[in-house]
Amino acid sequence: MSATQDPNLDADAKRLAELGYSQDLNRSWSGFSNFAISFSIISILAGCFTNFGAGWNNGGPISISWSWPLLSAFILLIGFTMSELVSAYPTSGGIYWWASKLGGPRAGFYTGWLNLVGLIAVTAGVSYGCATFIDLTISTWSEDFAADYSLTRVFIIFVIVLGIAAVLNIFSGHLMAIMNNVSVWWHVAGASAIVLILVFVPDQHQSVGYVFTERFNNSGLFDGSNSSFAFFFAIVPFGFLLTQYTITGFDACAHLSEETKAASTGAAKGIWQSIFYSAVGGYILLLAVVFAVPDGPDGKPANADVGEGGVAYIFSTALGSDWATAVLFISAAGQLFCAVSCATSASRMLYAFSRDRAVPGSSHWSKLSANRVPARAVLLVAFLSAAVTLPALIEVNVGTEEDPLILPIAFYAVTSIAVQGLYLSFAIPIFLRWKHGERFEVGEWNNGSKYKWMNLVAVAEILIVSIYLMMPFVPGAVPFSDDFAWKFVNYAPIVVLGVLLAITLWWEISAKKWFKGPVRTIDPAELPPG
């Protein structure tokens, strides 16, 4: 009897057997749970707030009110192309498996490593953002705690957050499904509560004209110009990091497809629905924040103070300490849910990639615990997430001693690595699916003939945004400038290009001789013809 004819296998397990894998992971996730993990990783309570400064300082209100819906539309398009792919190939390897199937071992090797680097970086970025908001919550509540602020303290909280995420992931895969279901409602209720607080509590709000037309350049680049060609085509695009980083990680639906019931439709819907609902909810949330920007002592909007203090300044000034503490707590808790989900997604990708022998020590990282979860992969993800964020211990003051402006350069770099690693890994199978044309065997959920333009537009958006996110953040990061110092440098391109170089050398010297793509755990001879 072939594996796919085993009467004890359900439709999902049979489809997985056709793709070459036995049902080792526990398939206990519902379609809603699958949607929930991507919705939790996108986490409008995380990205919208932690990267608010990236948008604000690089364009001002217009960089949020106009860039968010524009970028969201493109990202939804990317989601549609990936939904079609996961419907056809619902495996934990996800992005990497699709590239291997459509482009061969080399395409899969590059895709897998880019995706893994992106997932580790997004776990690091979300966990560090969560630690920052935990620190802000306690500091807003306690002046004594605020007085002892240090980057070391935030980093210790960050390590604790990673530890919590690891322990919860190791305990049970089914627990993760329950947590993600709870996370959805926390994000919906929490974001709604924050919007209502920002609408009714502040004594004053900015005008519609301010929110949709005000622009400025706090980056220090191009002499602060806010009307030149460079402003619109160099400064504002760096603010894209706010949207592109927030709405990422939705490939988790693919990585959890082997644990999801009716995965060929459930995981496909999970991808595009998590993007769509996050885009709408995030836009409402961000508009509420921008409308609540307080005026300074001169009676004008406190643009510079917001640029330095971010959303925490808006909350504290416009709402008062009690309401600000409540809002920060809601956000920090949502970010903790997000960090746990990121660790789940990254560990599943590491497990799948190790199962196919692409990672050094594969036999170790692909082992499952008694609870049928990749516990060793979870621990490695937590360790690497901490390692890539070590530069956050270095204080970066781009202001002066009299007027300091501390920017989270390392955080922006880590989130840029996450965006570039993840989205570049998405671009490879999206492009390969376009090349396959009508030869591609679609699943139950597909885009029909619209793939002909959708996939090309998706790839173009990814490449353009990735190039922008490799640019310097501040004047001190511009090579050969008088103010240049390594502490200012956006190290995202160093990491991403370094990974690409390392992958290329590894492939040419060694990997091409032994890496043949996905390794079946079910003998192909057992499968029926055709």
Longest dimension (CA), the chain: 81
Helices 303-319 and 173-200: angle between axes, nearest 10 degrees: 90
Predicted pLDDT of residue 477: 75
Q: How far is CA 333 from CA 248, 278, 288, 340, 449, in A?
A: 19, 17, 20, 11, 42
pTM for the full predicted model:
0.87
Predicted pLDDT of residue 425: 94
Considering only CA atoms, which of 209, 234, 282 is closest in space to residue 62?
Answer: 209
Chain mean position to CA 407: 20
Coil vs helix vs strand at 6: coil
Predicted pLDDT of residue 2: 44
Predicted pLDDT of residue 315: 95
φ/ψ of 29, rounded to 5, equals -90, 135
* Burial classification of residue 298, based on how many CB atoms lie within 10 Å of its CB (0-12 exposed, 13-18 middle, 19 or more buried): exposed
Predicted pLDDT of residue 434: 97
- Given CA atoms 271, 427, 249, 77 in this order, what sign does their dihedral have? negative
CA 103 to CA 74: how far, in whole Å?
24
Coil vs helix vs strand at 29: strand
Point out which residues pair with 217 in neighbouring strands: 58
Tokens encoding 495: 């990491």
CA 246 to CA 125: how far, in whole Å?
11
Predicted pLDDT of residue 3: 44
Residue 59's H or E segment, with its range, is strand 58-59
Per-residue pLDDT of the chain (530 residues; tens, 9 = 90+): 444 444 435 677 777 787 766 777 677 678 788 888 788 888 899 889 988 988 998 899 999 999 999 999 999 999 999 999 999 888 876 788 899 989 999 999 999 999 999 999 999 999 999 999 999 999 999 988 888 888 899 999 999 999 999 999 888 656 777 887 888 899 999 999 999 999 999 999 999 999 999 999 888 788 778 888 888 888 888 889 899 989 988 888 887 888 888 888 888 999 999 999 999 999 999 999 999 999 998 889 998 889 888 899 999 999 999 999 999 999 999 999 999 988 988 998 898 889 888 888 888 888 888 777 888 999 999 999 999 888 888 776 555 555 555 556 677 788 888 889 999 999 999 999 999 999 999 989 999 999 999 999 999 999 999 988 888 777 777 887 777 777 777 778 888 899 899 999 999 999 999 888 887 766 545 544 44
460-465's contacts with Cβ under 8 Å and 24+ in sequence apart are 461/74, 461/75, 461/77, 461/78, 462/78, 462/423, 462/424, 462/426, 462/427, 462/430, 463/427, 465/71, 465/237, 465/240, 465/244, 465/419, 465/423
DSSP for 508-523 reads IIIIHHH--SPPPSS-
What are the counts of helices (DSSP H) followed by strands (DSSP E) for the chain?
25, 2
Tokens encoding 238: 């760096």
Q: Are 128 and 389 in contact (CB under 8 A)?
A: yes
Coil vs helix vs strand at 301: strand
Q: Are 522 and 20 in contact (CB under 8 A)?
A: yes
Sketch out the chain's domains with CATH numbers: 29-479+493-517 (1.20.1740.10)
Q: Are 247 and 72 in contact (CB under 8 A)?
A: yes
Q: Are 109 and 453 in contact (CB under 8 A)?
A: no
Predicted pLDDT of residue 238: 84
- What letter would DSSP give residue 202? S
φ/ψ of 301, rounded to 5, equals -55, 135
Chain mean position to CA 325: 26
| Residue 15: Cβ within 10 Å count | 19
Predicted pLDDT of residue 192: 96
Q: Are 420 and 385 in contact (CB under 8 A)?
A: no
